[in-house]
């Protein structure tokens, strides 16, 4: 049975995500992705005409998968504290299990040099992340002022992204673990 178009498209996206999480938008090439998947670069262009197309698709798929793993912030069967724990756990898996940065963190750091749709996709990741954490924290502190909830959500996201950055630079997974744990107090 021949591989369907969709499967190849997904394999391309998976390979590009891996490369981008290491080197960012400017750190990968169509030829590398083609070699990873086992096809030629012209075939990659058939699925994604330009690098902007592919990179934006990767960032959107990454975001969708991330948000799907988070689930509904209003889910009554889970406490706010458990949901924040889950949120930190997703970042932990990315850096500890995959040994890679958050894709959209990498893209955010080079946002000034990105094609418009790739920058917009990275922006979307953070907007959706912040909105999700806000919804969780609103449940936890129903009476807090909206600006305070918003700030607490920003802090949560910023601390985890910063934790990935610092622990990556120091090559210390323990640094990430300690920072992530400090979030749950």
| Interface ranges with its own copies (CB under 8 A) | 21-27, 100-101, 104-113, 119, 122-123, 125-127, 130, 151, 154-155, 157-163, 165-166, 168-171, 175, 178-179, 182
List 47, 119, 133, 134, residue binding DNA (CB under 7 A): 47
Residue closer to DNA by CB (options 41, 148) is: 41
CB atoms within 10 A of CB 176: 23
The structure tokens 């975001």 sit at 63
What six digits make up the tokens of 169? 């630079």
Q: What H or E segment, with its residue span, contains residue 34?
A: helix 30-37
State yes or no: residue 79 binds DNA (CB under 7 A): no
| Stretch of 50-58, 103-111, 124-132, 158-166 contacting DNA, by CB under 7 A | 50-58
Question: Could you tell me if 163 and 180 are in contact, meaning their C-beta atoms sit under 8 angstroms apart?
Answer: yes
State yes or no: residue 1 binds DNA (CB under 7 A): no
Letters for 9-38 (x = contact with DNA by CB under 7 A, - = none) are -------------------xxxxx-x---x
Q: How far is it, in rounded angstroms, from Cα 168 to Cα 109?
A: 14
Burial class (CB in 10 A: 0-12, 13-18, 19+), 6: exposed
8 binds, among its own copies, DNA, none (CB under 5 to 8 A by kind): DNA
Question: What is the Rg, in whole angstroms, of the alpha carbon atoms belonging to the chain?
Answer: 18
């Amino acid at each position: 049975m021949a591989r369907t178009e969709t499967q190849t498209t997904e394999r391309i996206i998976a390979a590009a995500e891996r490369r981008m999480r290491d080197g960012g938008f400017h750190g990968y090439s169509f030829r590398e992705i083609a070699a990873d998947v086992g096809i030629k670069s012209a075939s990659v262009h058939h699925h994604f005409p330009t690098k902007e197309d592919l990179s934006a698709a990767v960032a959107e798929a990454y975001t969708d998968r991330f948000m799907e793993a988070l689930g509904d912030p209003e889910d009554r069967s889970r406490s706010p504290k458990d949901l924040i724990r889950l949120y930190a756990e997703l970042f932990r898996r990315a850096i500890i299990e995959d040994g890679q940065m958050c894709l959209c963190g990498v893209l955010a750091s080079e946002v000034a040099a990105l094609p418009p749709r790739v920058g917009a996709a990275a922006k979307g990741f953070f907007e959706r992340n912040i909105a999700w954490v806000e919804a969780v924290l609103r449940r936890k502190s129903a009476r807090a002022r909206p600006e305070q909830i918003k700030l607490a959500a920003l802090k949560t996201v910023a601390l985890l992204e910063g934790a990935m950055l610092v622990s990556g630079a120091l090559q210390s997974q323990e640094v990430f673990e300690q920072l992530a744990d400090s979030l749950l107090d």
